[in-house]
């Protein structure tokens, strides 16, 4: 065991992260309405659907499986799961509220009491173990009705539905939840708009226009949520959530350096700038001009955005991106979900996500020097195939190695002067993968007996990493 000393502040928020659609199941229970994750099939088609356009948003059980429908059945097993999180010593647990449990169609006036009561039970259970909930208001689960009837976040009307939803949950859970986040990986829509925006642009020409218009509506919605949170729960903290993948220039050719810089501005910093500073950054004007983007900005929109700036920045970090201006098909990084070219210095996961712990230190430094706002790593982890040995153990030392190096990198960043609030590793219990819709891409400290074909007992088992993470938390990141 390596006893490397780290400098995590007292009260550092160690825990794990999930999203409703990837754990709950019970997709049609408790009056829940259908959301976008409920119509996404698992398997090979999934990533193509996420990246392309023309998806019809219907359930077709003859040809596809829908893994999110049962997921890992957290809806019925949350007590057992929370007890295991408590055993690891979690200080916080990040989860999302399924909008469709509260407003099954999204546009009703009155909320669904059964849905509200479910999260009351979950929060009470967490609180009974002194685990604080960290709640994402919207994590890739837009009501399907809003997608079909309004075109998702293409429509300005959706702002008021979201505002209603947000006000209801802030008021209901004001005494139970003190950490909030608005939209999960809001900038991820630049790669995969379907999950968070509820539409995929029909053609390349409209792509930027539609995506940035939807961002504008989401910024207003997010700012209204921030403002409501400050009014309703004055002692709460509310953040944004950015998918952060630092962009490296492939080499020192200035053409590649400026290309990487501009890609980084657009992908990593554009949404964060608006959330944190409350205004559109200067660099985006040129981009809008070149792409002929004209936003519908109405009177008052920019004031709302200015007033609703966040308290902290939540980020997911899985990989970096190395890029150059001109790249051949062969040079492209296979599977690296944020694109770019292969980085010769890095290894990749079985899904091609390049593993780069130093990149996390770089990301935290970049974000902190730009904003001087507390940072919260709310997703990070290794998706891997796990094997159960004959004696029932699961020796996921590769996962421990990955996490150790990333925790060390955070420790370095803290020593660099970064203000870091916490770390919730992604998929602390195995769950349905977002990009593949499968179970076999596992992230958990806790194994769930469920297979890609839907079979399995759903029994929970501790992996080696469970015992490792417990010690990490106990020692506040000193025993790694
Ligand atoms: C993030 C999402 C999560 C999650 C994670 C891992 O982008 O916020 O919902 O699933 O990535 O991705 P995957 O499940 O595709 O491995």
Model ipTM value = 0.98
Atom of ligand 1 nearest to the CA of 436: 15
From residue 134, alpha-carbon distances to 138, 212, 314 in Å are 12, 28, 11
Ligand 1 centroid from CA 433, angstroms: 6
Backbone angles phi, psi at 106, to 5 degrees: 100, -30
What are the tokens at 36? Answer: 């976008």
**Is 107 exposed, middle or buried, given 0-12, 13-18 or 19+ CB atoms closer than 10 A?**
middle
Domain span at 52: 13-474
**Is 275 exposed, middle or buried, given 0-12, 13-18 or 19+ CB atoms closer than 10 A?**
buried
Question: Does the residue 427 lie in any domain?
Answer: yes
**Is 73 exposed, middle or buried, given 0-12, 13-18 or 19+ CB atoms closer than 10 A?**
middle
Question: Does the residue 3 lie in any domain?
Answer: no
The span from the CA of 249 to the CA of 377, in Å, is 24
Question: Does the residue 399 lie in any domain?
Answer: yes
Q: How many residues does the chain have?
A: 480
Q: Which candidate, 190, 342, 210, places its Cα nearest to that of 267?
A: 190
> Would the CB of 222 count as within 6 Å of ligand 1?
no
Instruction: Give the pLDDT confidence of 253-310 residue by residue, as tens digits.
Output: 999 999 999 999 999 999 999 999 999 999 999 999 999 999 999 999 999 999 999 9
| 388: region left, alpha or beta (phi > 0 left; psi from -120 to 50 alpha) | beta
User: DSSP H helical segments within 291-373, as ranges?
Assistant: 301-307, 357-371
Atom of ligand 1 nearest to the CA of 337: 15
Q: What pLDDT, on a 0 to 100 scale, did the predictor assign at position 153?
A: 97
Q: Dihedral, CA atoms, 24, 27, 30, 32, nearest 10 degrees?
A: 110
Residues 6+ away with beta carbon under 8 Å from 449: 456, 457, 458, 459, 460, 461
> Would the CB of 440 count as within 6 Å of ligand 1?
no
DSSP state of 332: B
Give helix then strand counts, H and E, for the chain. Answer: 16, 14
Q: What pLDDT, on a 0 to 100 scale, did the predictor assign at position 6?
A: 58
The span from the CA of 236 to the CA of 427, in Å, is 25
For the chain, the farthest-separated pair of C-alpha atoms sits apart, in whole angstroms, at 66
From residue 137, alpha-carbon distances to 144, 168, 278, 313 in Å are 16, 11, 20, 15
Ligand 1 centroid from CA 20, angstroms: 12
SS3 assignment, position 112:
coil
Question: Does the residue 445 lie in any domain?
Answer: yes
Question: Does the residue 4 lie in any domain?
Answer: no
Q: What pLDDT, on a 0 to 100 scale, did the predictor assign at position 5?
A: 55
Question: Does the residue 1 lie in any domain?
Answer: no
Question: Does the residue 5 lie in any domain?
Answer: no
Ligand 1 centroid from CA 303, angstroms: 33
Kindly provide the residue ranges of all beta strands, DSSP E only, lying in 159-274, ordered along the sequence: 179-183, 237-243, 247-249
Q: What pLDDT, on a 0 to 100 scale, did the predictor assign at position 2?
A: 47
Indicate which residue's Cα is closest to atom 15 of ligand 1.
435
Indicate which residue's Cα is closest to atom 12 of ligand 1.
434
The span from the CA of 110 to the CA of 357, in Å, is 46
Question: Quick check: is 379 catalytic?
Answer: yes
Any idea what the CATH number is for the domain that residue 258 is in? 3.20.20.80
Question: Does the residue 98 lie in any domain?
Answer: yes
Which parts of the chain sit beneath pLDDT 50? 1-3
The span from the CA of 480 to the CA of 470, in Å, is 10
Q: Which candidate, 473, 127, 182, places its Cα nearest to that of 312?
A: 182
Q: Which candidate, 394, 420, 395, 399, places its Cα nearest to that of 409?
A: 420
For residues 295 and 212, the answer to whether their CB atoms sit within 8 Å is yes
Q: What pLDDT, on a 0 to 100 scale, did the predictor assign at position 377?
A: 99
Number of domains in the chain: 1
Kindly provide the residue ranges of all beta strands, DSSP E only, lying in 186-305, ordered along the sequence: 237-243, 247-249
Ligand 1 centroid from CA 391, angstroms: 31
Q: Which candidate, 325, 345, 321, places its Cα nearest to that of 335?
A: 321
> Would the CB of 433 count as within 6 Å of ligand 1?
yes
């Amino acid at each position: 065991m390596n006893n490397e000393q780290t400098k995590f502040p007292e009260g550092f928020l160690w825990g794990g992260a999930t999203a409703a659609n990837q754990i709950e199941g019970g997709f049609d229970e408790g009056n829940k309405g259908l959301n976008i994750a409920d119509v996404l099939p698992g398997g090979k088609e999934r990533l193509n659907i996420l990246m392309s356009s023309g998806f019809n948003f219907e359930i077709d059980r003859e040809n596809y499986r829908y893994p999110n429908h049962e997921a890992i059945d957290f809806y019925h097993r949350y007590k057992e799961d929370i007890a295991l999180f408590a055993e690891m010593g979690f200080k916080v647990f990040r989860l999302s509220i399924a909008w469709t449990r509260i407003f099954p169609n999204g546009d009703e006036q009155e909320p669904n009491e059964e849905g509200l009561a479910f999260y009351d039970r979950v929060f009470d259970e967490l609180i009974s173990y002194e685990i604080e909930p960290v709640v994402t208001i919207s994590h890739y689960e837009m009501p399907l009705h809003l997608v079909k009837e309004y075109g998702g976040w293409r429509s300005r009307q959706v702002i008021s539905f979201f505002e209603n939803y947000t006000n209801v949950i802030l008021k209901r859970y004001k005494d139970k939840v003190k950490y909030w986040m608005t939209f999960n990986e809001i900038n991820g829509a630049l790669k995969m708009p379907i999950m968070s925006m509820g539409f995929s642009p029909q053609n390349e020409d409209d792509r930027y226009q539609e995506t940035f218009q939807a961002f504008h509506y989401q910024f207003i919605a997010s700012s209204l949520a921030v403002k409501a949170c400050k009014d309703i729960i004055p002692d709460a903290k509310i953040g944004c959530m950015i998918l952060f993948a630092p962009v490296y220039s492939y080499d020192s050719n200035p053409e590649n350096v400026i290309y990487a810089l501009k890609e980084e501005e657009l992908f990593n910093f554009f949404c964060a700038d608006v959330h944190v500073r409350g205004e559109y950054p200067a660099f985006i004007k040129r981009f809008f001009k070149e792409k002929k983007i004209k936003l519908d900005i109405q009177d008052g929109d920019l004031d709302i955005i200015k007033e609703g700036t966040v308290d902290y920045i939540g980020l997911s970090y899985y990989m970096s991106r190395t890029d150059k201006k001109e790249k051949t098909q062969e040079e492209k990084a296979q599977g690296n979900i944020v694109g770019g070219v292969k980085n010769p210095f890095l290894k990749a996961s079985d899904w091609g996500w390049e593993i780069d712990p130093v990149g996390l230190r770089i990301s935290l430094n970049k974000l902190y020097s730009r904003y001087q706002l507390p940072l919260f790593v709310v997703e990070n982890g290794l998706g891997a195939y796990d094997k159960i040995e004959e004696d029932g153990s699961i020796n996921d030392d590769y996962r421990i190695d990955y996490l150790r190096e990333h925790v060390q990198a955070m420790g370095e960043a803290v020593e660099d002067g970064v203000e870091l609030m916490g770390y919730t590793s992604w998929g602390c219990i195995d769950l349905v993968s977002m990009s593949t819709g499968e179970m076999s891409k596992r992230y958990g400290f806790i194994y769930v007996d469920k297979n890609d074909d839907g079979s399995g007992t759903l029994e929970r088992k501790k992996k080696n990493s469970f015992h490792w993470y417990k010690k990490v938390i106990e020692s506040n990141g000193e025993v790694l």
